[in-house]
A and B are shown apart, each in its own frame.
Chain A
Amino acid sequence: MTEFKDYAKKYSNIRMERENGILEITFHTEGGSLVWGGGPHAQFGPAFYDIGRDPDNKIVIMTGTGDTFIEEISPETLSERLPKSKITPTVWDHIYSDAKRLIMNLLDIEVPVIAAVNGPVNIHAELAVLSDIVLASENAAFQDAPHFPNGLVPGDGVHVIWPYLLGRNRGRYFLLTGERLSAQEALRLGVVAEVLPREKLLARAHELAKQILRQPPITIRYARVVMTQELKTLMLEHLSHGLALQGVAANEYWPG
């Protein structure tokens, strides 16, 4: 078990605030929109683990900072762990572990997760769309930019979640072509439940959180558990294989 005070300030890229059991986690880089890189890659898995182990978290709201969710990547911070050359198995082992924890620890949070997607997300968009409820601001957009369009195998779980959400064929098209889905398209395709003006997004997330919290605590937890079971099974089945092949291909080609 964990306690809020032990992890609330532990992660430099994740701000955590909790009120009446509603945990709001905000991704950021020095207070601005999150820039993906080595820090987030290493922090997110352990942060989700801490959150999942704290029984005082009754529901989680996940959001970003400013007008983008995650749209930028910092090659510098990534290259602290990733050389700008061929990826060796030893280096890949870090990526593999981080990537697997990122997904599995998130799904192991046994309370409902609401994503308030405050703008475009083209890096690790699966973090948002794996949530039980996905809300998006009008300016949001969804894309898988870092993998196939960037020369990498889409094997870190995106190969599971996108065909799962969009349908097998629509999902494969999305991953192979680098298609960017607008908030409205994501709504039409069932990826997003509601599209809202940016300024109303978080308020709506809290409103839904309070609505969910009116149900008995065990019901709330078990509802999350039964609804994520299939996703966890699929991830366990396909994540290691996907990451292994992504690593093999990254040894051959890395967009350094």
Chain B
Amino acid sequence: MSKFEDYANKYSRIRMERDDDGILEVTLHTNGGTMVFGPEAHEQLPPAFLDISQDPDNKIVILTGTGDSFIEEVETATLKGTPGKGSRLPNWTKMDPHTWDRTFTNAKTMLVNLLNIEAPVIAAVNGPVNIHADLAVLSDIVIAAEHASFQDAPHYPNGLVFGDGDFRR
């Protein structure tokens, strides 16, 4: 079991607010603006979903983004960083198994932990999402702003296999 005060401020990329009815609003962001996807988000989302799922006081979850897009940008330093200087997805021609192991674990637990939240999840898709759109559309209810759009940009169009949960059904 987890308690709100233990995890509410734990994640720099995820703002959490809960009202007296147990409605937990989860807002993805980067420094208060639209989330730019990167290693922090990839590291933080799995344990955040776990914390949320383990707190019986969360009666329902609303998942949203900041500003006018949900997630549309990737930290370029993440993809083109120099090996050994803190970035996890260096611009090597080949991904080594050790690095992939981190990505694999985070990617897997992100979706499994999200689905393990046993309170209904409502996604309020506040704008375009072309990175991890799966996070939004796995929700029980998905509502979208008029200008929202959905795409899977980081995988096949980017030379990668869409193997992180995007390919079934």
Contacts and interface: CB of A to CB of B under 8 A. Distances in A.
Interface of A: 168-169, 172-173, 176-177
Interface residues of B, number: 7
A145 to B, nearest CB: 18
B169 A176 contact: no
A9 to B, nearest CB: 45
B140 interface: yes
Q: Main secondary structure on chain A at its contact with chain B?
A: helix
B120 A169 contact: no
A176 B142 CA distance: 12
Contacts of A173: 140-142
Given A169-B137, A172-B141, 12 more contacts: A168-B169, A169-B139, A169-B141, A169-B142, A172-B140, A173-B140, A173-B141, A173-B142, A176-B120, A176-B140, A176-B141, A177-B141
A83 B131 CA distance: 51
A202 B71 CA distance: 51
Interface string B136-149: 01011110000000
B157 to A, nearest CB: 23
Interface string B101-122: 0000000000000000000100
Contacts of A172: 140-141
A153 to B, nearest CB: 12
Contacts of A169: 137, 139, 141-142
